[in-house]
Structure 1
Amino acid sequence: MFRSLIIIAISITLTNPAFAFVKLDGYFIAEKACEAYQSKNRQTNPGNIVVRPDMAYRMLGINKKGGDYFQVHVDDAPVTDSRWVSSSCGIHVVEADTLTSGADDDANDDVVIDQTGTESTDNLLTLSWQPAFCETRPGKKECRDLNDGHLPHTTRQLSIHGLWPQPKGNDYCGVPTAIRNLDNPDNWHRLPAPQIDTETADALEAAMPGFASFLHHHEWIKHGTCYFGEGGADEYYDDTLYLTALINDSAVGDLFFNNVGKEITGAEIRAAFDSSFGSGSGERVLIKCKSDSGRTLINEIWISLGGTISPESDLGDLMRAAESTGMGCKRGLVDPAGLQ
């Protein structure tokens, strides 16, 4: 149940003109360009300020209960930054634990996120070795399932962490502040769900064990919103699944599968990429390790990619189009399932 961010439509029915200003919390998300007035009655607008579609503005209140003008905060507006905007110009995002009249429990799916931009051509694919991840997070649902033997496929292949448009810090594109503030692991289930079809969701649940903890919500909100593929979240995750399958079906996947419980080197991982995807591809792979009880565990591999990703993309070409990177961890254990 998503009860912290609720999209509500404020009724514009005028019932009693004697009602006074009503303070509101949360944010106003503009759905179209509208003037932001200093005085709604005289319709004065110093600076000719206009709210921008899909932008979030801090909500101050409404002119009266059931009124027809929101008062919102507009940064750097001259004379006053408290401006009046017609309620027909957007929607109200409320942060609360109780429902406001007219709200929809499941309205998180209707949150407006601006997806106007050019598709990312500088990306980082991050894949995890799930047993190593679960050594230090045994309480997470996906880790309880893995350690109880219910996710055997996670011990045979690399798992999806995410696909991150670069450079670092390029995240939360068009995401309202109220939603961004919810993005921590305890609240991932309350984030808007990515709009993906059933086939993609089923494949993602298998390839991304963190799906059980709503990792796919977080990855879409933080990183996917900056991918700007024409197909939105569905394209973002289909591209991620496509690349991950290529790696797991290659000599790289074989290297991990055949060495569970043994040490492998960063050089061996890079050589497996060269063998499968062409000379030079391994130089675009960074190996991440973690320490656990005196052991060095291979935790993730980060693959740098350049160019537009599509279902026909050659992974080797994408890798060689990216800048080379350091190796990172030089040697580590391919951790078996279960707490060691």
Structure 2
Amino acid sequence: MIGYGVNFRRGLASLTAAMGVLLVASFGAAAQDHRQNAPGAFDFYVLSLSWSPSFCEAARERGNTGRSTQAQCSGRPYSFVVHGLWPQYERGYPEYCKRPSPRLDRNVMRGMLDLMPAPGLVYNEWDKHGTCSGLGARGYFETVRKARASVKIPEEYLDLASPKTVTPGEVEEAFIKANPGLSAAAIAVRCDSRRLGEVRICMNKDLQFRACEQVNRSACRRNQIVMPPMRGG
């Protein structure tokens, strides 16, 4: 009986501990989920500007000939294009905040092709990120356009006719110089193994530049990167 009592108490203690873990996990999930993927409940935006020649060069190397690649890489010579305007938390980000996503009107999509040169990209950005903005489709893409208009592309990157080797710091500095109020704490340069990929700029909901520690931690750490020339260069 004594042995049985000891085993029973041990078993009860283990069960209690396990229930405690489950309760803590459930509470933690609830604490996180109170705004997880809730439309409009986020802290700031990231405007992602993709260096289109890098995207096209990498797509050719992978043999990617899909519609989005053809739309961006076989037309006019793009430089920086809008990858997206992404709602962010201070840590992490929401995505796919409405399932199914409200259908995006084709006319709205077509109206964005000057900034986001592939229909598939526009549709995907609406489904994954736009639905988290708390705005309707027209309002969201109007905000994308305003965000893009608030950032001036450095003059030396507007018509790049030959490959250019740069450091991530040089790209940051060029954008900071061209955009009063932009600081190094609000911009991050992304790269692949050798090429410039994107420039990400953090903005408040009113589209003013703001610092973003977590976005900065994912910045390119390479000493030098290449900017492939624009198509036809």
For the superposition of Structure 1 and Structure 2, which TM-score range results when normalised by the shorter chain?
A: 0.5 to 0.7
Following the alignment from structure 2 to structure 1, what is the Cα–Cα distance between the partners of residues 216 and 38?
30
Q: 1:304 aligns with which of 177, 199, 202?
A: 202
3-state SS in 1 of match to 2:209: helix
Q: 2:148 aligns with which of 231, 244, 262?
A: 244
Q: 1:206 aligns with which of 114, 135, 141?
A: 114
Q: Quick check: 1:218 aligned with 2:124?
A: yes
Distance 1:137 1:241, change over 3 A: same
Higher strand share: 1
Distance 1:142 1:126, change over 3 A: same
Larger Rg: 1
Q: Quick check: 1:286 aligned with 2:188?
A: yes
3-state SS in 2 of match to 1:204: coil
Following the alignment from structure 2 to structure 1, what is the Cα–Cα distance between the partners of residues 132 and 72?
31
Q: Quick check: 1:174 aligned with 2:98?
A: yes
Please say if residues 173 and 226 of structure 1, whose CA atoms lie closer than 8 Å, have aligned partners that are also in contact. Answer: yes
Distance 1:132 1:218, change over 3 A: same
3-state SS in 1 of match to 2:147: helix
Distance 1:263 1:173, change over 3 A: same
Tell me the CA shift for residue 278 of structure 1.
2.8
Following the alignment from structure 1 to structure 2, what is the Cα–Cα distance between the partners of residues 236 and 122?
14
Distance 1:195 1:273, change over 3 A: same
Count of matched residue positions in the alignment of Structure 1 and Structure 2: 187
Following the alignment from structure 1 to structure 2, what is the Cα–Cα distance between the partners of residues 145 and 325?
30
Normalized against structure 1, the TM-score is what?
A: 0.48
Q: 2:55 aligns with which of 127, 133, 138?
A: 133
Distance 1:146 1:208, change over 3 A: closer
> Could you list the runs of 4 or more consecutive aligned residues of structure 1 that deviate by over 6 angstroms after TM superposition?
none
Q: 1:233 aligns with which of 103, 112, 137?
A: 137
Following the alignment from structure 1 to structure 2, what is the Cα–Cα distance between the partners of residues 325 and 146?
28
Q: Per-residue CA shift, 1:213-252, capped at 9, x if unaligned?
A: x2211111111111102xx1111111112222332xx2x3
3-state SS in 2 of match to 1:236: helix
Amino acid at match of 2:137: A
Following the alignment from structure 1 to structure 2, what is the Cα–Cα distance between the partners of residues 116 and 299?
29
Following the alignment from structure 2 to structure 1, what is the Cα–Cα distance between the partners of residues 139 and 114?
17
Amino acid at match of 1:301: V
Following the alignment from structure 1 to structure 2, what is the Cα–Cα distance between the partners of residues 175 and 258?
41
Tell me the CA shift for residue 120 of structure 1.
3.9
Tell me the CA shift for residue 253 of structure 1.
3.7
Distance 1:287 1:121, change over 3 A: same
RMSD: 3.0
3-state SS in 2 of match to 1:164: strand
Tell me the CA shift for residue 208 of structure 1.
0.8
Following the alignment from structure 1 to structure 2, what is the Cα–Cα distance between the partners of residues 335 and 290?
13
Amino acid at match of 1:320: R
Tell me the CA shift for residue 158 of structure 1.
0.9
Q: Per-residue CA shift, 1:78-119, capped at 9, x if unaligned?
A: xxxxxxxxxxxxxxxxxxxxxxxxxxxxxxxxxxxxx97446
Distance 1:147 1:279, change over 3 A: closer
Q: 2:104 aligns with which of 169, 194, 204?
A: 194
Following the alignment from structure 1 to structure 2, what is the Cα–Cα distance between the partners of residues 275 and 203?
30
Following the alignment from structure 1 to structure 2, what is the Cα–Cα distance between the partners of residues 254 and 225?
33
Following the alignment from structure 2 to structure 1, what is the Cα–Cα distance between the partners of residues 38 and 139?
15
Amino acid at match of 1:216: V
Map 1:143-162 to 2 at 5 A. Answer: 143-144=69-70, 147-148=73-74, 150-152=75-77, 154=78, 157-162=79-84
Tell me the CA shift for residue 131 of structure 1.
1.5
3-state SS in 1 of match to 2:220: coil
Following the alignment from structure 2 to structure 1, what is the Cα–Cα distance between the partners of residues 81 and 139?
18
Tell me the CA shift for residue 210 of structure 1.
2.5
Unmatched 5+ stretches in structure 1 = 1-114, 180-191
Higher helix share: 2
Following the alignment from structure 1 to structure 2, what is the Cα–Cα distance between the partners of residues 319 and 221?
25
Following the alignment from structure 1 to structure 2, what is the Cα–Cα distance between the partners of residues 210 and 320?
29
Normalized against structure 2, the TM-score is what?
A: 0.67
Following the alignment from structure 2 to structure 1, what is the Cα–Cα distance between the partners of residues 154 and 140?
22
Map 1:260-275 to 2 at 5 A. Answer: 260-275=162-177
